[in-house]
């Protein structure tokens, strides 16, 4: 009788292990990969794709604790390169209200990050999406005209 209980205990442990492996596989599949900007994201949303043409202008932005310099930017429509230079801390540059969804620059310390973007006429809010940074003033406006 004693060996029968061990067999049941072993079967239970094996079933628990199989369930755990299956759960981990589901979690890895759900979290893995991310959106590579290839436009294959769900929900019909369009992801950011860096333009292939040359930049017609460069927009230089400094990012520090807790500011963008400048925080009021004017640019012409067309392909521009946004270049962000860190001035301490970790900071991002993203757009609000779904504008240029997926576009993000991130710097740490004195790093520089740059990407090209195809700007369309309009007024766009940009901000740092590190928790608390926007509320402390890391927000600005990009006017394209």
3-state secondary structure the chain: CHHHHHHHHHHHHHHHHHHHHHHHHHHHHHHCCCCCCCCCCHHHCCCCCCCCCCCCEEEEEEEECCEEECCEEEECCEEEEEEEEECCCEEEEEECCCCCCCCCEEEECCCEEEEEEEECCEEEEEECCCCCCCCCCCEEEEEEC
Which of these ranges, 41-55, 86-100, 125-139, has the smallest mean pLDDT? 41-55
Tell me the whole-structure pTM to 2 decimals: 0.69
pLDDT at 10: 72
- Does pLDDT of 93 surpass 60? yes
Cα distance between residue 66 and residue 79, in whole Å: 28
Do residue 27 and residue 71 come from a single domain? no
Q: Report the pLDDT value the prediction gives residue 3, as an integer from 0 to 100.
A: 52
CATH number at residue 117: 2.60.40.420
Range of the domain at 139: 54-144
One domain, residues 71 and 23: no
Residue 15 falls inside a structural domain: yes
Q: 43 in a domain, yes or no?
A: no
Same structural domain, 22 and 89: no
64 and 123 housed in the same domain: yes
In a shared domain, residues 12 and 60: no
Same domain, 89 and 26: no
Q: Does 131 lie in the same domain as 66?
A: yes
Q: For the chain, how many structural domains are there in total?
A: 2
């Amino acid at each position: 009788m004693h060996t029968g209980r061990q067999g049941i205990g072993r079967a239970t442990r094996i079933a628990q292990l199989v369930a755990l492996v299956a759960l981990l596989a589901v979690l890895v599949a759900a979290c893995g990969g991310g959106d590579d900007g290839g436009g294959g994201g769900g929900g019909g949303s369009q992801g950011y794709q860096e333009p292939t043409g040359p930049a017609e202008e460069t927009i230089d932005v400094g990012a520090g604790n807790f500011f963008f310099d400048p925080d009021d930017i004017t640019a012409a429509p067309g392909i521009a390169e946004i270049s962000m230079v860190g001035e301490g801390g970790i900071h991002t540059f993203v757009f609000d209200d779904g504008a240029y969804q997926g576009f993000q620059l991130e710097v740490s310390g004195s790093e520089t990050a740059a990407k090209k973007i195809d700007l369309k006429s309009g007024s766009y809010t940009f901000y740092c999406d590190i928790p608390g940074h926007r509320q402390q003033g890391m927000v600005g406006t990009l006017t394209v005209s």
